[in-house]
Each structure stands twice: as C-alpha cells, then as structure tokens.
Amino acid sequence: MNSELIRNDFPILKKECGGRPIVYLDNAATSQKPLPVLEAVYEYNTQGNGNPHRGAHVLAISASEAYDGSKEIVRRFINKRSPKEIIYTRNTTESLNLIARSYGETHLKKGDHIVITIAEHHANLVTWQRVAQKTGAVLDYIYVDKKTGHFLEKDLEKINKNVKIVAFAQVSNVLGIEFDPRPLIQRAHEAGAVVVLDGAQSAPHRRVDVQELDCDFFAFSGHKMCASGGIGVLYGKEQLLDDMEPFNLGGDMIEEVREQSTDFAELPAKFEAGTQNVEGAVSLEAAIRYLNEIGFDEIQKQERKLVTQAIQGMQQIPHIRIIGTENPEEKEGLVSFTVDDVHPHDVAEILSAVGICIRTGHHCAQPLHTYLGIYASCRASFYFYNTEEEVQYFLKHLRTVRSVMGYDD
C-alpha cells in the first residue's frame, strides 16, 4: 500500500495541528473523505442534479440514474441479489430504527424475547428497549467475558424458541473484536428468530457478503467509509421487507393516494419517502469504488499492522489498560483503553494538544461501560490512510500523559 499516494487524496490529513499534520485516529466515529468522493459530488451538482424519479426531463433522469446506479454498486458491495433489497437511509441509526419500528413493533407481542449483546451501540439497544416497551416483549442480553470480549458461551442459550429478534454488531465499536457471527446467526435461525446485523464498524473495513452471512437485516453508514454524511444503508431480505409497514410516509413511496387511504409503492421505494439524498448516494458509490480500488485485503493488512503496532506499544507503557482482548489478530482497526488515574477526557485533551485525535467518553455504549465497571474510556481507531509513523507519534505522546498529569512513574 502506497500510503503517501493515498494520503494525497485526503487534504484534511495535511491540516496543521499542534505543529505538525493532524493525526486522525477517530475513524470509528467518522472517516475522512478522499478527493474522488468530493469530486464525484461536485460533478453531480454541477452536471446532473435534479429530483430523481420525479420527472421526465434530462436532469431528473440523470439524478435517477445517479441514484439507482449507486444502489447497484451497493448491491454488489454486500453481494445481494436484488437492488430492491437495498434501502437508503440517513445512517445506521435510522436503518436500525426502521427495522425496530416497521418490523419489531408490528411483529412482536407480549412474552416474545429480543436478544442483543451488552456491547451494543445505543442505536442497536435503545431501539430495542422501545420495541420491548411498546410490545411487551422482553429484552435479554448476551454478556461478554470482561477480559477477552468474547460472548459468554452459556448466554447463547438465551437464543431459544421464544426469541423473535437477535440483534448485534458484527464489530463492536468499543471492544473492536472481530468474531465470527455465523454460529449466532445459525442459532437464531434455528430458533426461528430474525437476525439484525449492525455493520457500522464492519462494512468500512472488510468485505461483507450478506448472502453468505445469511443475516436478515444489515445496516451501515456511509460517513464511516469515506462517503458523505446523511447516507446510510439498510439491507433486508425481500420477503421480510415486503411484509413490513412503511416507515416514513410521503412522496415517492406511494402507488396511489386517495383522500382517506393510500396504496404504497413496491420495494425499495416503499421505504424511501420524500426527496432522497442523491449527493449522498453519489458519494457512497464513489467511496465504494475508491475502497474497492485499494482493495479490502490491502485495507485489512494495513489496519492489522497498525493495530498490532499500537497494542504492542501500549503494552510497554505502564498504567495503560486495553479493553477487551489484547490479541491484535482479533481487533478490527481499533483499540479502546484507559490510563490509570487519568480520566479519558484528560487523555484526549493532552493528545489533542499535540494534534492527535482520539475519541473519549462512553462511545455510545454506556451499558457496556457500566458492565465493565468504568464510566468512560479512550479509543484510537485506525483506517487504511493511517501510517506507522502516526502510531509511533501517538505512542510517544501517550507515554507522557501521566507525567503531564503530575504522576512520576
């Protein structure tokens, strides 16, 4: 991987900060965008912008083509059969809310169970709390081993025939653990449950094949994988989507509207109300093309290298505690940690002063933090455009944190 060439595509990485180019290690929160993506959006806006699916003129047609063309790229990206099964949303959060409302609230009843894991992002947790509350279903948790981050084997037994939904992140945004979701999916399907896979932290980093995974729903965000804000994806199996209530109502998702009743459009329009974010769709297509060109094998190789270097370096610094497994082979591009006696917010502040961007807080995973007995943590998350030199710089300054805070070890 030619890091230098790649980094030329990301002007923001040259931004001066703390006396040197910024070191952006908050990629799990949102990624940066390469020039080809910015240019594709610019080109659309200066050559082809119109309202898709709503007119016969040349710009309405170019907008429709841009929008539908982008879906075809997404379809291939996750290896789906039909573009009908690809719904554009605003982000992972909206994708998950769509499932919760249009599937969860209408298909579950009192006494049914929903199983999620304690490591879920709030988007895949609070959503199910509401479904449980509205339907009378019960929300069960699969807990993880506090050291390794692996699911507790015995908790998998919670996936029994009362369970109607099993929802979990393919990669946890705190533990960063990369595990094989297939046994869980298989167990869920044997129990007759529907599987919701939160791909926010997996889709940006690795090839995803929803047919092979055989998950029923899959959600991810464009902004975490080099695309613009405001575009997300929901994949769902056609017969499930067909059988669901519409989500938002309005233009473009209708077949025929009368004063007192409405026939809804077919998939995917049924779930796409109002004027869509075509620029977002264009940027997502450009982002996927960009990532494909680099290649996911290369991306994973680079990230593995950086994570390994980071973990090995951190293990050498006293008073650093890595959250979850310390095996770099199991970490998907991110490492969460704490520094003894230094609050994560202070760690982030100290690093930010020298131009290093890491995330601090509960990372939208409060129940996991509570379970682990910490209130907050730090997270360094990498993407393919990060370099070994950046990790070195990060480690160097991480080493100073305790001394800045007045500890002399």
Partner 1 sequence: MDMNQLYTELILEYNKDKTNKRPVENPTLSEHGHNPNCGDDIVLQVKMKDGVIQDLAYTGSGCAISQASTAMMIELVSGRTADEALRLVHLFLDMIRGKITDESQLEELEAAVSLKDISKMPVRVKCAVLGWHTLEEALTKLQSKTVKSNK
Ligand X SMILES: Cc1ncc(COP(=O)(O)O)c(C=O)c1O
Identify the residue whose tokens are 């293990």: 315
Cβ pair 62, 45 in contact under 8 A: no
Which one of 19, 110, 180, 261 is in contact with a copy of itself (CB under 8 A)? 261
Task: Tell me which DSSP letter residue 386 carries.
Answer: -
Strand order from edge to edge, sheet including 377-381: 320-322, 334-339, 377-381, 359-361
Which positions from 97 through 136 interact with ligand X, judged by CB under 6 A?
Answer: 121, 123-124
Task: Note the helical H segments in 56-139.
Answer: 58-77, 92-98, 105-107, 126-135
The 144-183 contact track toward a copy of itself, x by CB under 8 A, reads: ----------------------------------------
Q: Given the complex with partner 1, which of 214 and 346 has the nearer CB atom? A: 346
| Alpha carbon distance 226, 310 (integer Å) | 23
H or E stretch at 8: helix 3-8
Catalytic residue among 17, 226, 357, 364: 364
H or E stretch at 163: strand 163-169
Residue 65 binds a copy of itself, judged by CB under 8 A: no
Which one of 85, 178, 279, 303 is in contact with a copy of itself (CB under 8 A)? 279
- Binders of partner 1: how many residues, by CB under 8 A? 25
Q: Which does 239 bind (CB under 5 to 8 A by kind): partner 1, a copy of itself, ligand X, none?
A: none
Which positions from 74 through 113 interact with partner 1, judged by CB under 8 A?
Answer: none
Residue 46 binds a copy of itself, judged by CB under 8 A: yes
Which one of 16, 153, 180, 256 is in contact with partner 1 (CB under 8 A)? 256
The 258-297 contact track toward ligand X, x by CB under 6 A, reads: ----------------xx----------------------
Which amino acid is located at 87 in the chain? I
Which one of 14, 15, 20, 54 is in contact with partner 1 (CB under 8 A)? 54
Per CB under 8 A, the segment of 19-27, 70-78, 316-324, 333-341 that binds a copy of itself is 19-27
Q: Given the complex with partner 1, which of 316 and 400 has the nearer CB atom? A: 400
| Alpha carbon distance 218, 142 (integer Å) | 19
Q: SS3 of 22, please?
A: coil
The verdict on whether omega for the bond into residue 268 sits within 30 degrees of 0, i.e. cis, is yes
Is 364 an active-site residue? yes
- From first CA to last CA, the distance across the chain in angstroms is 38
- Binders of ligand X: how many residues, by CB under 6 A? 16
Cβ pair 378, 359 in contact under 8 A: yes
Burial of 98: CB neighbours in 10 Å, binned 0-12, 13-18, 19+: buried
Which one of 20, 81, 321, 345 is in contact with a copy of itself (CB under 8 A)? 345
Secondary-structure percent of the chain, ordered helix, strand, coil, rounded to 5: 45, 20, 40
Q: Which residues are catalytic?
A: 364
The footprint of partner 1 (CB under 8 A) covers 53-54, 56, 61, 254-256, 265, 342-346, 349-350, 353, 360-362, 366, 375-376, 404-406
The footprint of ligand X (CB under 6 A) covers 91-93, 121, 123-124, 169, 173, 198, 200-201, 221, 251, 274-275, 364
